[in-house]
Structure 1
């Protein structure tokens, strides 16, 4: 029953995020084309995707990555809010930073890998997609089972590594802040300031790393 409940929860979160992305994608795309700082992000992504992704799927993948970037960025930036103060006010120990919850990061990674699978099949076809798991890296009949095992594990590890990387960085930073809060007054101020500067640079950087890896994974699948 617990496994079934977990599966239903994952399914609901994925469907919810798909609906959010569909509803916000056009708005975000229009906004990014009219704001200077976001124009630079848009231009960078266009150039990066143009260099490694073929023209046929370039636009849809660009739109997905822009939406994904701002989804993760906004959720990361909730860590700028006084979370501990909010917890004391409402008197509940709840997680106010979505990306420090592994369910949220897995949601993003599973959605990304589904998009990668769809675009890969759309570009190279279902037969070649499956064939890549069997005939690579060693195109020898007796080693097809070995190829499949290695390639399948490698493919499954992509969404796992994506989610754990994002979750680990945000969650570990929260733990360090909690440890610092237990120090004396002067150490608290010194370490909070130094770690805070580093941490708040990491928040946008993690969303950037996430989408960069998604772009690279799609490129690898198509060129495999």
Structure 2
């Protein structure tokens, strides 16, 4: 679907903000939603096929790319791709060493995976908003959102994965009793203030996945909306605004991947700390 005189602006915007949703509709049974109303009627028993497909695609691309470069790595003068990956690896290694002050061999690979995977998903935003959806529309797929991080389901899924690890290491390292004491005796170490401490600490703990998910989603979704609004402008204005915004957005997509990774490592480091 292209902008311009073919469709109304409101319809154009709504079209680009609807995921390719497959689920159980009360009236249509198992089907693909054609409108936002149909998608909302599916409720819990639905899946965003485009979000899942592009997320998995970027994940497999990440694994294939790093494995290929790792197998072909040379001690001589590295190629461009090897240099980029080595710089990325060293950057995440230094980040992990400066942020995580305990011993856990999983944290480094986890940080590298989060940063590169989120960066690759975010970078899909640089592709013009009408290009790939237009290609899929020609083969009969009406809705196609290619940036998984503009879907709250994707960002919450990653955030919940990190949060599960936070809970796991809290219980593993501190034990159930130690974790309970940490929640009930901080910041005020007095039995009379246990209810107040619990309220503060439980809220602070539950805020972690929300802060991770909402920050990434909010920035990526806002950027997507701006790209869509630019696409509604006349042709000359699109090139005048779209290119500078895309260049500026390269910084945004990198920064958001970095923030998600740093906060994840910080939360996991806190889970390893004994108080």
TM-score, normalization by structure 1:
0.81
Say if 1:36 and 1:123 are closer, same or farther in 2 by CA, change over 3 A. farther
SS at match of 2:144: coil
- Equivalents in 1 of 2:179, 2:47: separation in Å? 29
Equivalent residues of 1:75, 1:98 under 8 A apart: yes
- Any idea what the Cα deviations from partners look like across 1:190-219, whole Å, max 9, x if unmatched? 211221111122112211111011111222
Evaluate the alpha carbon distance shift between residue 42 and residue 27 of structure 1 in structure 2; reply closer, same or farther with a 3 A threshold. same
Q: Please list the CA deviations of residues 15-57 of structure 1 after superposition, one character each: whole Å capped at 9, or x if unmatched.
A: xx9xx98xx7798478569422222222232233223434431
Bigger share in helix: 1
Residue of structure 1 in register with 2:250 after alignment: 200
Rate the CA distance shift 1:131–1:199 in 2: closer, same or farther, 3 A: same
Deviation at 1:114, TM superposition (A): 1.2
Structure-2 residue corresponding to 1:50? 97
Task: Indicate the RMSD between aligned Cα atoms, in angstroms.
Answer: 3.4
- Deviating above 6 A after TM superposition, structure 1's stretches of 4 or more consecutive aligned residues are 7-10, 24-27
Q: Give the structure 1 partner of residue 190 of structure 2.
A: 140
Residues 109 and 163 in structure 1, CA contact (< 8 A), matched pair in contact too: yes
Q: Identify, as 1 or 2, the structure richer in strand.
A: 2
TM-aligned CA distance change 1:71 to 1:9, over 3 Å:
same
Structure 2, unpaired ranges of 5+: 1-23, 25-39, 74-81
Once residues 40 and 162 of structure 1 are traced to their aligned partners in structure 2, the CA distance between those partners, rounded to angstroms, is 25
Q: Which runs of 5+ in 1 are unaligned?
A: none
* Helix, strand or coil at the partner of 2:130: helix
Count of aligned pairs: 216
Instruction: Pick from 15, 26, 39 the counterpart of residue 86 of structure 2.
Output: 39
Q: Structure 2 residue aligned with 1:90, among 129, 136, 141?
A: 136
Distance 1:29 1:115, change over 3 A: farther
Q: Distance in 1 between matches of 2:205 and 2:67?
A: 30
* Residue 180 of structure 1 pairs with residue 230 of structure 2: yes
Larger Rg: 2
TM-score (normalizing by structure 2) = 0.67
- 1:6 aligned to 44, 50, 54, which one? 44
Counterpart Cα distance in 2 of 1:46 and 1:146: 38
